[in-house]
Amino acid sequence: MLPGFKTELAGKTALLGAWSTTRDPVIAEKLALTGFDYVCVDQQHGLIGFDSFVATMTALARTGAAPLVRVARNDATEIGRALDAGANGVIVPLVDDAAQAGQAVAACRYAPAGTRSFGPTRSYFGAGTDPYQVNDAVCCLVMIETLRGMQNVREIAGVPGVDGIYVGPADLALSYGHAPGPGAGAGPLADALQQILAACKEHGIAAGIHTSSVKEALRYLEMGFRMVTVVTDIRLLQIAAGEQLKAVREGLGSL
C-alpha cells in the first residue's frame, strides 16, 4: 500500500494507470515498472483467481505504482479481501445510488467508521499498524455504468468517503443503447460524461475513466478527467503482436 496515493488522487495532477486482467503477476509487475501511477487488478472481468491475485498484489507492492482492485461486486467480503491483500483502494462496479455508494465506503473502513472486518493478514503492509491510519489511507472509487446511476450521480458523488467516480464507458454505452468500443464516450454519451465531471467537481472528488486509445486518453484528460487508465494488458499484447507481425510481413516484400 502506498499511503500517498489518496493524496495524489485528491490533487490536480493527472494519474495514468494500467489494467491487469491476467493471472500472471509478472505481467502486472512489468506494467507497474513502466512508470504508471497505478495498476488496477480486475477481479470482475479478469482471469484472476485468489491465489494468483495475492501473488500479483505482492509483486506490485514494491514497484512504486499504487495497487488498485476492481472488485467483482459491491460486497463487503469482496472489498475486505482485496484490501487485506494489500490494495491501496477499490473500484466498485455498478453503483446506482447513494445507499450503494455508502455501502461500498463502509466496507473500506474499520468500525466505528465502517463495517470492514479486522483480518490483517497483509493489510498492514506499508500502512502502519493503526487501523484508523489504514482507514485514512484507503481509496474508495465507485463506478457509474447505468441510467439509474446517472440519475443519482450528484447524490453518489456527495456520499462522504467516496474518493472518486470511475466511468466504465462500455457498460454506460450499453445502458444508453449504444455498442461499446472505441469512441463509446462520444456522441450521445458526451453529456453523461459532462454530468459526471460536474458532480465530481461540485463535491471535490476525482473523476476517472477507462480508455482504449491514446487519442481517447488525451481527449478525456482535456475534458477534466484526472484518473485515466490508458492500457489493458491483454489489449496491449494483442496490439503490439499485431503491429510486429504486420511489419515483418510487409518487410518480406523487400527481401
Highest mean pLDDT among 132-141, 168-177, 178-187, 193-202: 193-202
Residue 251 exposed, middle or buried by CB count within 10 Å (0-12, 13-18, 19+)? exposed
First-to-last alpha carbon distance for the chain, in angstroms, is: 52
45 in active site: yes
The pLDDT-based confidence of 222 (bands split at 50, 70, 90) is very high
Between 80 and 254, name the one with better pLDDT.
80
Task: Compute the average pLDDT of residues 112-124.
Answer: 80
For position 2, what pLDDT does the model report? 62
pLDDT at 183 over 70: no
Distance between CA atoms of residues 41 and 26, nearest Å:
13
The pLDDT-based confidence of 133 (bands split at 50, 70, 90) is confident
Between 127 and 234, name the one with better pLDDT.
234
Report the 10 Å Cβ neighbour count for 30: 15
pLDDT at 180 over 60: yes
Task: Compute the average pLDDT of residues 241-245.
Answer: 94
Catalytic residue among 45, 178, 203, 210: 45
pLDDT at 221 over 60: yes
Across the chain, mean pLDDT equals: 91
For position 118, what pLDDT does the model report? 86
The pLDDT-based confidence of 4 (bands split at 50, 70, 90) is confident
The pLDDT-based confidence of 178 (bands split at 50, 70, 90) is confident
Between 75 and 186, name the one with better pLDDT.
75
Q: How far is CA 250 from CA 13, 206, 237, 247, in A?
A: 41, 44, 20, 5
**Coil vs helix vs strand at 91:** strand
pLDDT at 66 over 90: yes
Task: Compute the average pLDDT of residues 193-211.
Answer: 97
For position 80, what pLDDT does the model report? 94
Q: Which fold has domain 5-254?
A: TIM Barrel (3.20.20)
pLDDT at 123 over 60: no
pLDDT at 92 over 90: yes
For position 125, what pLDDT does the model report? 52
Pull the grid cell for residue 133. 491510519
Write out pLDDT tens, residues 6-46.
999 999 899 999 999 999 999 999 999 999 999 999 999 99
pLDDT at 129 over 70: no
